[in-house]
Amino acid sequence: TVGITPNGGQILNNFDVGNVLNYDPAGDFPSGSTIYVKIIPYNSNGDAAGCNEESFMTETSTSCGAGQTITLSTQTQVNDFISNYCNSFLGNLIIQDDNNGVDNITSLIQLSSLTSIGGYLQISFNNALSNLDSFSYLSSIGGNLSIFNNDVLSNINGLSSLTSIGGNLSIYNSAVLSNVDGFISLDSINGDFYFDGNSTLINVDGLTSLIYVGGNFNLINNSMLSQCCGLNAIMNAEVNG
């Protein structure tokens, strides 16, 4: 078993390599990541007992992707992104499933070592993506962050390290997103704030750290939103638009 979290198995999950003394997994491991490996030998008497999991760090890639716009439309493309590019991506990244029933995007765990995006990040039309848990190291986005039309996206908790957005923050038409707790560290948005048509959003408590919005502030058509206590800081701070 090989993964990027303890006992994770995201790279190889309980995979039988056969009767060999060495094995080279397909593709590169994510750069700048801790890789966890557990090897369990076996024979006709069963599995060996007491095998410990080992771990090691892979080298961190330098920044890359300036001027590029990359679209990830399958799970395979998501899995290969870090090994093909780097942890600090200077371009624009679109995660938009082609939704053809083959290799659909269900997890972004292979993006867990991504630390910054220099351009915009768009996450849209992913019919099988339920969370953004993989973005736990993403601290800044230089352009817009747009999240829309993700039918089963129920939480954005994986964005909890994000502190700044250089452009607009737009979340709309998110049918099952009930909160934005993942924005707990977000303190500045240089562009517009735009939440529209999120039919199950019941609170914005995750925005308690937000103290600056450089553009317009739009919180509209969120029919279940009953209170906005999470906006106390920004109400007492600065909205320029």
Residue 171's pLDDT is: 98
Read off the pLDDT band of 233 (50, 70, 90). confident
Res. 91: pLDDT tops 90 = yes
Res. 97: pLDDT tops 90 = yes
Res. 241: pLDDT tops 60 = no
| pTM for the whole structure | 0.74
Amino acid at 31: S
Res. 129: pLDDT tops 90 = yes
Read off the pLDDT band of 61 (50, 70, 90). low
Q: What is the mean pLDDT of the chain?
A: 91
Concatenated DSSP letters of the chain = -EESSTT--SSBSS----S-S----SSPPPTT-EEEE----EETTEEPS-PPPEEEEPPPPPPB-TT-EEEE-SHHHHHHHHHHS-SEE-SEEEE----SSSS-----GGGTT--EESS-EEEE--TT--B-GGGTT--EESS-EEEE--TT--B-GGGTT--EESS-EEEE--TT----GGGTT--EESS-EEEE--TT----GGGTT--EESS-EEEE--TT----GGGHHHHTSEE--
Q: Could you report the per-residue pLDDT of 161-212, keeping only the tens digit for each?
A: 999 999 999 999 999 999 999 999 999 999 999 999 999 999 999 999 999 9
Instruction: Find the mean pLDDT for residues 82-101.
Output: 92
Residue 8's pLDDT is: 87
Residue 9's pLDDT is: 86
Q: Could you report the per-residue pLDDT of 6-45, keeping only the tens digit for each?
A: 988 888 899 999 999 898 887 667 767 789 999 999 999 9
